Amino acid sequence: MAPRSQPPVTLLVLGAGGDLTRRLLLPGLATLLTAERDRRVRVVGADRSDLSATEWASRVEDAFGSVDAPKAVTSRVLKDTAYTPADILDHDSLASLVASCGDGPLVVFFALPPPVTMRCCELLAEVDLPKVTRLALEKPFGTDGRSAREFNALLHRVVPESEVFRIDHFLGVNTVLNLVGLRFANRILQPVWSRDHVERVEIVYDEDLALEGRAGYYDGAGALRDMLQSHLLQVLALFAMESVSTLDAEELHEQKNQVLRATRPWGRSAAKAARRARYTAGRLGRRSVPDYTSEEGVDASRNTETLAQVTFEVATNRWAGVPFVLRSGKALGTPRKQIVVTFRDVAHLPGGLRGAEGPDTLVIGLKPGSMELTLTMNAEGDPFDLEQKTLTATLAPPRMQAYGEVLGQILDGSRLLSVEGASAEECWRIVEPVLRAFAKGTVPMEEYAAGSDGPDGWLPAAPSST
Ligand code: NDP
């Protein structure tokens, strides 16, 4: 955290009337300010609707109330917040909005539709900005490798890369961040974290939610772009990277980038490495869910997948030959959100030992946070009769929302939890062959009933029930 003697940062939210601001940004900020009571931030909202100061204040209050922020925290933010109606795509209106924020450190948060963000950046490149200006952006960071590169070049016309903060809220999830401590603070894990001992790795994020009214966004993206290309590749990079000497953002980015540069579809064949499917009518708990293609706002001709699974290879000395299976989907019966590490079998099982039926596994629960180590041992009866037993640890709930963790770093000017420009480009490079295979139709679209666990024969059954 930055020393509190520094001037408070102004958080200028462009698109303050939108869904992201209401559902993620303001509640995340509320949890940050609740966990770190002496943090000072001035929130300036801007959007094209003509909200009064009272209407804006009541939106902020509602968002803070949605996460039960203490009254004192809400009142302090309300004392120093403002709303400016502005057409962000008009140079003069943008320039006077920025000027109204003063000379202190400024974080410009783009909660705008992607094309508006791009046009706005073009204008910002011609506007006088405070000496310390940071740009905070949500995904998507482009729609393919080329557009990601073009977008990065545009951002760099406004500020250098060191002041660009690409948000992936997975990087603020306590259980994802725990990967760093788990891997590098445990002597017992360090020697086995490689191809010599690991048979396969699965990174799974199966949701038991359907579209939840977000067809407008989701139907244009699909599971591969929405989850694998961004969040799950970031998790893979943290899982597989080499150690850092210190928690320095640039060092961490370089180690993650090394992994991403070495990642490609398994067997160099995207068509063989990938699977995709779409849900059909079914039930999620008590709710009945229609066919995906009958959901409001879905354009069936887009052929969007709601479940994607891709096996990748990380072609490094440490990981070559180990399949990394990434999978995520919607409307699934079991909300499995976990990393499953399956270890290789022992080289030789002494004759006379009986009943050792499966490999050792480590299951890292991403949501809820847990750790399950399954080992083969004798639990009862004949001491040479073995069975599998699981040692379980439950992680404490996070101290704030993931969005709050990421925002806190941005407000402090630290890029530790942000996605670096080269990494954003690399993630598109990795999935582009799969996107092409999807577009060509060389990966068949399978189906699964909403509420089921997906099509048969995909990931082998998980060794844990989390
Ligand atoms: P919304 O469409 O809900 O909000 C965008 C806001 O920007 C609207 O209030 C809109 O006003 C305003 N706006 C558009 N053009 C202008 C303009 N020229 N001048 C001033 N204001 C303007 O989008 P979201 O909040 O859902 O998404 C914002 C960004 O966040 C997108 O890049 C999206 O990809 C990303 N994102 C969103 C997530 C979410 O959960 N919502 C999750 C992850 C990323 P108006 O209503 O008048 O059009």
Number of domains in the chain: 2
Evaluate whether residue 406 is within a structural domain: no
Alpha-carbon distance 427 to 37, whole Å?
A: 36
Last residue of a domain, one of 138, 160, 190: 138
Evaluate whether residue 306 is within a structural domain: yes
Same domain, yes or no: 198 and 334? yes
pLDDT digits (tens, 9 = 90+) for 306-335: 999 999 999 999 999 999 999 999 999 999
Q: Is 19 in the pocket of ligand 1 (CB under 6 A)?
A: yes
Q: What is the ipTM of this complex?
A: 0.97
Instruction: State the distance between the two ends of the chain, measured CA to CA, in whole angstroms.
Output: 34
Same domain, yes or no: 80 and 220? no
The pLDDT value given to residue 380: 86
- Which residue has the least CA distance to atom 12 on ligand 1? 15
Phi, psi of 61 (to 5 degrees): -60, -45
Last residue of a domain, one of 138, 165, 186: 138
CB 118 within 8 A of CB 146: no
| pLDDT at residue 462 greater than cutoff 50 | no
Q: To test the ligand 1 pocket, which listed residue (12, 20, 25, 143) has its Cβ within 8 A of the most ligand atoms?
A: 20
Task: Tell me the mean pLDDT in the region 24-45.
Answer: 97
Element holding 271 (H helix, E strand) = helix 270-273
- Which residue has the least CA distance to atom 40 on ligand 1? 20
Same domain, yes or no: 119 and 247? no
CATH code of the domain in which 197 resides: 3.30.360.10
Same domain, yes or no: 227 and 272? yes
Residue 169 bears catalytic tag: no
The pLDDT value given to residue 204: 98
Task: Tell me the mean pLDDT in the region 341-361.
Answer: 90
Q: Is 88 in the pocket of ligand 1 (CB under 6 A)?
A: yes
Same domain, yes or no: 375 and 428? yes
Same domain, yes or no: 109 and 208? no
| pLDDT at residue 30 greater than cutoff 80 | yes
192 beta partners = none
Evaluate whether residue 226 is within a structural domain: yes
| pLDDT at residue 461 greater than cutoff 90 | no
- Structural domain range at position 294: 173-398+420-449
Average pLDDT, the chain: 94
Indicate the pLDDT class of residue 457, thresholds 50, 70 and 90. confident
Indicate the pLDDT class of residue 3, thresholds 50, 70 and 90. low
Selected catalytic residue, list 169, 231, 253, 348: 231
Element holding 392 (H helix, E strand) = strand 387-394
Same domain, yes or no: 130 and 38? yes
Q: Strands, E, within 274-353: which ranges?
A: 274-280, 282-284, 287-289, 307-314, 324-329, 337-343
Same domain, yes or no: 218 and 362? yes
CATH code of the domain in which 24 resides: 3.40.50.720
| pLDDT at residue 35 greater than cutoff 90 | yes
Same domain, yes or no: 127 and 222? no
pLDDT digits (tens, 9 = 90+) for 256-297: 999 999 999 999 899 999 999 999 999 999 999 999 999 999
Same domain, yes or no: 242 and 112? no
Q: Give percent of the chain with pLDDT exceeding 70.
A: 97
Evaluate whether residue 408 is within a structural domain: no
The pLDDT value given to residue 355: 80
Same domain, yes or no: 215 and 86? no
Q: To test the ligand 1 pocket, which listed residue (12, 92, 112) has its Cβ within 8 A of the most ligand atoms?
A: 112
What is this structure's pTM?
Answer: 0.95
Evaluate whether residue 69 is within a structural domain: yes
Task: Tell me the mean pLDDT in the region 139-155.
Answer: 95
Evaluate whether residue 455 is within a structural domain: no
Tokens for 12, please give them.
Answer: 């200028």
